[in-house]
Structure 1
Amino acid sequence: MARTWLHLTSSFLIVCCVIGFLISTVVAENHQRPPTVLPLSLSSRNHSLHRHVDNLRRRLFQSKLSGSTPNARLRLYDDLLSNGYHTARLRIGSPPQEFALIVDTGSTVTYVPCSSCSHCGNHQDSRFQPEMSSTYQPVKCNPSCNCDDEQKQCTYHRRYAEMSSSSGVLGEDLVSFGNESELMPQRAVFGCENVETGDLYNQRADGIMGLGRGRLSIMDQLVDKGVIGDSFSLCYGGMDVDGGAMVLGKIAPPPDMVFSHSDPFRSPYYNIEMKEIHVAGKRLELPDGAFDGRHGTVLDSGTTYAYFRRDAFAAFRDAILSAVHFLKRIPGPDPNYNDICFTGAGRDVSQLPKIFPQVEMVFNNGKKLLLSPENYLFRHSKASGAYCLGIFPNSESTTLLGGIVVRNTLVTYDRSNDRIGFLNTNCSELRRRVQFSGAPAPTPLVSPSKDTKMEIPSVLSPSGSPSNVLPGSFHVGFITFDMSISTTDSNLKSILKELTELISEELEVDNSQIRLLNVTSQEKDYLVRWGIFPAEPANYISNTIARSIILRLRDHRIQLPERFGNYKLMEWNAKPQRKLTSWQHRFLIMLVGSVTTPILSLSAIGIWLVHRQRQQTAYEPVGASIPERYLQPLQS
């Protein structure tokens, strides 16, 4: 009897603990702190940088509080070697239309394909539709610009070294920099393409984001408005790592950053004063001025590789060949080019500094920038563990340094002080740490000639949600969407893992917020349901971020690589935050009281019965003889 009561008591105690845990969890979910804002920070391969990270982080995130101008912080996308460029995403117009633009310090105009374009390629996003933007204005013909045939609108024309070109008309509209930026949307002049040729026609990116020095440069326009400081920074991911980060506006340079003078009057391009190059600690034997050609040594983020004048290239090539003479030479991946490639170095990029020599760029002021192997090598695309030289001869005297040279390097273009700074760091980690601030969207500027406001329109869910899915009192608990995928890849697990990372990038949320809810399959067709949940420790998604996610889903802006086969977004739905009503709170209190009282009573009765049973039980002393009646005969 006592054991029965003891079991009942234990069971009730367990039930009580479970109910208490569930109640505390529900209550805690509705009383959590607001989301923590993670600042943009750097992680350096040089441990001495760590003590400077906090200072840089404060400057990036506290610029408004300190009274200085804000920064526009943007993530960079795409792989430098696979695509030949990095892109940033800008939003133009009211409501905003999003575009993936190549970050190009060698261009002085920003442009996107126009809906009226007569010769534009098939790019990542839809063309810009001026008629759909309530804040768009054409730039009227004036003496300071070239005009169209009707003498009504200003035009632009740009031609590049590889013989591609872009031309169109100039317009003005609101340009916004995404949820990660402190900078509010600004009116800016940009190009609306009518014709594009060459690589510009064939590329996946929509257009160009011009960061060079010039009247139409997005940097010059923002600086002239006084909304940002006259500086910007780029940080490209390392080998096999796509993306990076960009900051438009001033940041506090870490003490370890090395600078070179940049002469804006010598060249329209961003140049540095490079004096010499050392390979494996030895200076290349070159005449003075080998890197001081027509434009000096030019930095161009829109160029993939680096180009030295012929004698400098030959000296650099010979020094590398001498240092890795034990590696086998193999042909390059493209038979049309005479690439210098090596095999036998292994696939682990972190081990390359043990095999390939260290390279140093020495500036006129004596400062040195260390280049690791990933800054002058690219991976062979057809041979495992093989690498090729990413430095090539230039037919002209100008030294051109493309993106490969500054991988995993924070480059600050300090235009106000005519200098460019370099700091070896982990750019891919910096990119991952760019987080949403969670603050409300800044109030947009209003066109001086139009009494309009930039508003995100109400969105209609295909699954039947009301048109106004995000009213002021509506807190989004999570968002679900279904994706249909047709692929021949049998390794579904690896596909879904990679898809999670890609979706988080496309929707600009953290990987931990994307969860796989369900998968159904029929042969090679899969229907996958995903969920987007609040970032820890928040218990709901802010309306600003939710609107951004829903607009991307509604407009089918998720872009996946071709290796995933065919895919289609089927439907999405925004679920409200789970919140207890007042009657639910009262019901829980009554439930706790009604359950706790009998449990305590039963516990007391059970303890009393156990105590009584123990008092009535007679115990035999140790060593006492056992009566024979207690012994059972053995069964034969």
Structure 2
Amino acid sequence: MRGLGPLILALAAVSMMSLHCALLPLERVFPLNQRVELDSLRARDRLRHARILQNAVGGIVDFSVVGSSDPYAVGYGLYFTKVKIGSPPKEFNVQIDTGSDILWVTCSTCNDCPQSSGLGIPLNSFDAASSSTSGMVPCSDAMCSSAIQSTASECSQSNQCSYKFQYGDGSGTSGHYVSDMLFFDAILGESLIANSSALIVFGCSTYQSGDLTKSDKAVDGIFGFGQGDLSVISQLSSRGIAPRIFSHCLKGEGNGGGVLVLGEIMEPSIVYSPLVPSQPHYNLNLQSISVNGQLLQIDPATFATSTNRGTIIDSGTTLAYLVEEAYNPFVNAITASVSQSVTPTIAKGNQCYLVSSSISDIFPTVSLNFAGGASMVLKPENYLQHLGFYDGAALWCIGFQKIQGGITILGDLILKDKIFVYDLARQRIGWADYDCSMAVNVSLTSGKDEFINAGQLSVSSSSRDLLFKMLPTSIMTLLMHIV
């Protein structure tokens, strides 16, 4: 009997509406006697669907890339991207860092943080009070519990989840975690870019030290792309918003730039090497080094992964660092190969060469040989740095730095002009030489569904089939009208 009341009221409301209805004139956007091309209809539909699908899930996320690995040519020495956080959205320039997990930006309460940047960009700070969607992360939050277990996080007396990070270069930051909306471009259909958003947890920095306090290369924060639970890639993939795989292609020439996507860049020449399990970073098993095809006499145990050894991929590092036992044979082999064509010299403690012609015609190629039979071929530009001129000759220096008893680190000097794919689902990293100013093919899932990036990403037919499976039925019906 309880269910009849609402039904009777609803019928009465319909009856009342029928007695007081109004006639509304309808007009066609495209008259019947006017021929309309299918492309025009699709274009109109896409504009509407871009609004409807603002929070649909399961797409590729695209970030712009600015910066360069060459601080001497363009004054950068790092790669960074823009993120939009808060309501209304505010833009922040953050360094791309595969060597750490957390996204953090400077907090408005940070007193000693840089106020200007030598990179020619404005510096912004995050003010939680100015965002209608911002929230404190309490100690009882599951994200805070995860952070406490995996990072130097703690709970403050005010029940805020706090953090303190120390980076490899000696710089550091501390602050507290907040939650707010991250806005990004997601690719959901053919030539369709929807402004999507997701609630994420990130750091609000109230204290910075070391190089982070220097204004010459100051940015608003660091975008950590590690494997930890608090990294943005982990947060988005755990909710089906983005795949558990990301890729970048960092341009080395000119003013730099490049491509960064949450998705897999597809290229036939990519080779893969498995990640070393149970490591906090993207650690690969480097087995040997070859110069001009000749294997260097280096004990394989030199590169073995243990407490303080191994080889990691780190986009937050500008140069490259080689353990001492491998550094000396490497430099000696390079010098011996070019000693008849250049003048070896020492500059500021580094092995350098005075070169009168193109380095690509003189210097040998180098191969870093990894587990799984995957070799990373380095051109001279990937292991040399141009430091100016002397007596009419160009001064080129070894870009690898010697590190004693530490980890071999492959930074931007090595990563530039290559596609790098971080396949977290399959626990592997792939790479291939590539002109990063060109378009790239991108996929939601490894090796199957391809997308195209030609300034703006678009979806192929096979990808649309996958997206239909991932989207709700109501959204899928709308998409059926544009494909």
TM-score by length of 1: 0.55
- C-alpha contact (below 8 Å) 2:185/2:196 kept by paired residues: no
Question: What is the match of residue 62 of structure 2?
Answer: 73
- C-alpha contact (below 8 Å) 1:232/1:414 kept by paired residues: yes
- Greater share of strand: 2
Where do 1:173-322 residues align within 5 Å? 173-178=180-185, 184-202=196-214, 203-251=217-265, 253-265=266-278, 267-294=279-306, 295-322=309-336
1:435 aligns with 2:435: no
Call closer, same or farther: CA 1:305–1:314 in 2, change over 3 Å: same
- C-alpha contact (below 8 Å) 1:179/1:436 kept by paired residues: no
Instruction: Specify which of 336, 353, 366 is matched with residue 359 of structure 1.
Output: 366
Post-superposition shift, 1:344?
A: 2.0
Distance between the aligned counterparts of 2:66 and 2:86, measured in 1?
22
Distance between the aligned counterparts of 2:108 and 2:41, measured in 1?
40
Distance between the aligned counterparts of 2:89 and 2:430, measured in 1?
34
Instruction: Specify which of 85, 92, 96 is matched with residue 99 of structure 1.
Output: 92
1:110 aligns with 2:103: yes
Question: What's the secondary structure of 1:357's corresponding residue?
Answer: coil
- C-alpha contact (below 8 Å) 2:247/2:261 kept by paired residues: yes
- C-alpha contact (below 8 Å) 2:184/2:195 kept by paired residues: yes
5+ residue gaps in structure 1? 1-30, 38-63, 440-636
Question: What's the secondary structure of 1:78's corresponding residue?
Answer: strand
Post-superposition shift, 1:263?
A: 2.1
- C-alpha contact (below 8 Å) 1:345/1:386 kept by paired residues: no
Call closer, same or farther: CA 1:35–1:115 in 2, change over 3 Å: farther
1:159 aligns with 2:174: no
Post-superposition shift, 1:227?
A: 1.1
Distance between the aligned counterparts of 2:291 and 2:253, measured in 1?
20
Distance between the aligned counterparts of 2:220 and 2:343, measured in 1?
41
- C-alpha contact (below 8 Å) 1:279/1:319 kept by paired residues: yes
Distance between the aligned counterparts of 2:213 and 2:186, measured in 1?
30
Distance between the aligned counterparts of 1:298 and 1:233, measured in 2?
16
Question: What's the secondary structure of 1:184's corresponding residue?
Answer: strand
> Larger radius of gyration, structure 1 or 2?
1
Distance between the aligned counterparts of 1:438 and 1:365, measured in 2?
33
Post-superposition shift, 1:188?
A: 0.6
Question: What's the secondary structure of 1:361's corresponding residue?
Answer: strand
Instruction: Specify which of 142, 156, 177 is matched with residue 170 of structure 1.
Output: 177
1:375 aligns with 2:390: no
AA aligned to 1:315 is P
Query: % of aligned pairs identical?
Result: 30
5+ residue gaps in structure 2? 1-36, 44-52, 117-121, 188-192, 441-451, 460-483
- C-alpha contact (below 8 Å) 1:232/1:246 kept by paired residues: yes
Question: What's the secondary structure of 1:317's corresponding residue?
Answer: helix
Post-superposition shift, 1:330?
A: 4.1
1:327 aligns with 2:345: no
Question: What's the secondary structure of 1:256's corresponding residue?
Answer: coil
Call closer, same or farther: CA 1:173–1:367 in 2, change over 3 Å: same
The RMSD of aligned alpha carbons is 2.9
Distance between the aligned counterparts of 1:290 and 1:177, measured in 2?
42
- C-alpha contact (below 8 Å) 2:275/2:427 kept by paired residues: yes
Where do 1:37-76 residues align within 5 Å? 69-76=58-65
Question: What is the match of residue 78 of structure 2?
Answer: 85
AA aligned to 1:73 is D
Distance between the aligned counterparts of 2:254 and 2:235, measured in 1?
34
- C-alpha contact (below 8 Å) 2:98/2:314 kept by paired residues: yes
Question: What's the secondary structure of 1:315's corresponding residue?
Answer: helix
Question: What's the secondary structure of 2:413's corresponding residue?
Answer: helix
Deviations 1:289-337 (A, max 9, x none): 22224342111110111111112000000010011102123453xxxx3
Deviations 1:169-197 (A, max 9, x none): 11011112358865721111010111111
Distance between the aligned counterparts of 2:458 and 2:326, measured in 1?
50
Post-superposition shift, 1:239?
A: 4.1
Question: What is the match of residue 407 of structure 1?
Answer: 416
Where do 1:339-358 residues align within 5 Å? 339-346=350-357, 351-358=358-365
Q: Mean alpha-carbon deviation: is it higher for 415-424 or for 114-123?
A: 114-123
- C-alpha contact (below 8 Å) 1:239/1:378 kept by paired residues: no
Question: What's the secondary structure of 2:227's corresponding residue?
Answer: coil
Question: What's the secondary structure of 1:260's corresponding residue?
Answer: strand
- C-alpha contact (below 8 Å) 2:97/2:314 kept by paired residues: yes
Distance between the aligned counterparts of 1:34 and 1:225, measured in 2?
35
Question: What's the secondary structure of 2:132's corresponding residue?
Answer: coil
Question: What is the match of residue 137 of structure 2?
Answer: 139
AA aligned to 2:411 is G
Question: What's the secondary structure of 1:246's corresponding residue?
Answer: strand
Distance between the aligned counterparts of 2:458 and 2:286, measured in 1?
43
Deviations 1:468-506 (A, max 9, x none): xxxxxxxxxxxxxxxxxxxxxxxxxxxxxxxxxxxxxxx
Post-superposition shift, 1:233?
A: 0.6
Call closer, same or farther: CA 1:164–1:74 in 2, change over 3 Å: same
Question: What's the secondary structure of 2:300's corresponding residue?
Answer: coil
AA aligned to 2:414 is V
Instruction: Specify which of 104, 116, 119 is matched with residue 112 of structure 2.
Output: 119
Deviations 1:559-603 (A, max 9, x none): xxxxxxxxxxxxxxxxxxxxxxxxxxxxxxxxxxxxxxxxxxxxx
AA aligned to 2:353 is F
Q: Mean alpha-carbon deviation: is it higher for 88-97 or for 123-132?
A: 123-132
Call closer, same or farther: CA 1:231–1:35 in 2, change over 3 Å: farther
AA aligned to 1:273 is N
- C-alpha contact (below 8 Å) 2:59/2:186 kept by paired residues: no
Q: Mean alpha-carbon deviation: is it higher for 358-367 or for 159-168?
A: 358-367
Call closer, same or farther: CA 1:387–1:182 in 2, change over 3 Å: farther
AA aligned to 2:107 is C
- C-alpha contact (below 8 Å) 1:91/1:178 kept by paired residues: no
Post-superposition shift, 1:363?
A: 1.8
Post-superposition shift, 1:224?
A: 1.2
Distance between the aligned counterparts of 1:165 and 1:97, measured in 2?
24
Distance between the aligned counterparts of 1:34 and 1:354, measured in 2?
53
Post-superposition shift, 1:364?
A: 2.3
Distance between the aligned counterparts of 1:330 and 1:240, measured in 2?
27
Distance between the aligned counterparts of 1:68 and 1:292, measured in 2?
41
Call closer, same or farther: CA 1:35–1:365 in 2, change over 3 Å: farther
Deviations 1:492-527 (A, max 9, x none): xxxxxxxxxxxxxxxxxxxxxxxxxxxxxxxxxxxx
Question: What's the secondary structure of 1:186's corresponding residue?
Answer: strand
Question: What's the secondary structure of 1:242's corresponding residue?
Answer: coil
Question: What is the match of residue 462 of structure 2?
Answer: none
Question: What is the match of residue 126 of structure 2?
Answer: 128
Where do 1:423-502 residues align within 5 Å? 423-430=432-439, 434-436=454-456
- C-alpha contact (below 8 Å) 2:57/2:240 kept by paired residues: no
Distance between the aligned counterparts of 1:244 and 1:284, measured in 2?
33
